[in-house]
Amino acid sequence: MINKLKPDQYYQDVFLIDFDLLKKQGIKGVICDIDNTIVPWSEEEILQEIIDWFSEIKDRGFQICLVSNGTAKRVNYFSEKLDLPAFGQAVKPAGKAFRKAQTVMALNSSEIVVIGDQLFTDVFGGNRMGFVTILVDPMNSREFFTTRIMRLLERMFFKRGEEK
């Protein structure tokens, strides 16, 4: 169980992720969380940097799918803004939405990376599916109440800080 909470890679933010390394590892698809991974929690504006980041990932030949525990309305908004397939109300770490994303991308588990800011949802869920996992620091300290509680528990399993 504890190994399932360990990310394969850690970066302080999404812009530092080494996509050349991922490509060398055979990764072809990206499953990305939304809240506090690419957009601060409860905000609706997407930074141009994030739009450009996704464009660059697509240009490198990666497929992308958003998977979030956020409401369907919120997730659909970002799906349309970014022109990406997405699944909301995912109930991560459950596998259903991850499997849907995998089906949309038509890739093997070993060809997919999950990028997210939470150990117990993104990393644990991705590891359970056999995906490569990347943990990033949350974009904002403002979060849903239960997420703040989970952050306290996360510290028992993973120390954030410098990239590893």
Please report, for the domain that includes residue 140, its CATH number.
Answer: 3.40.50.1000
pLDDT of res. 119: 85
pLDDT of res. 17: 97
- Tens of pLDDT along the chain (164 residues) come to 567 889 999 998 999 999 999 999 999 999 999 999 999 877 888 999 999 999 999 999 999 999 999 999 999 999 999 999 999 999 999 999 999 999 999 999 999 999 999 888 899 999 999 999 999 988 866 555 565 566 555 666 667 665 44
Asked whether residue 161 is assigned to any structural domain, the reply reads no
Asked whether residue 133 is assigned to any structural domain, the reply reads yes
Asked whether residue 145 is assigned to any structural domain, the reply reads yes
pLDDT of res. 148: 58
CB neighbours (10 Å) of residue 97?
24
> Are 129 and 99 spatial neighbours (Cβ–Cβ below 8 Å)?
yes
Asked whether residue 164 is assigned to any structural domain, the reply reads no
CA 141/CA 40 separation, integer angstroms: 9
Asked whether residue 24 is assigned to any structural domain, the reply reads yes
Count of domains for the chain: 1
Asked whether residue 159 is assigned to any structural domain, the reply reads no
Q: Which domain holds residue 17?
A: 2-154
pTM over 0.85: yes
CB neighbours (10 Å) of residue 59?
8
pLDDT of res. 76: 96
> Nearest 5°: phi and psi at 31?
-105, 120
For tokens 């399993």, what's the residue? 157
pLDDT of res. 155: 66
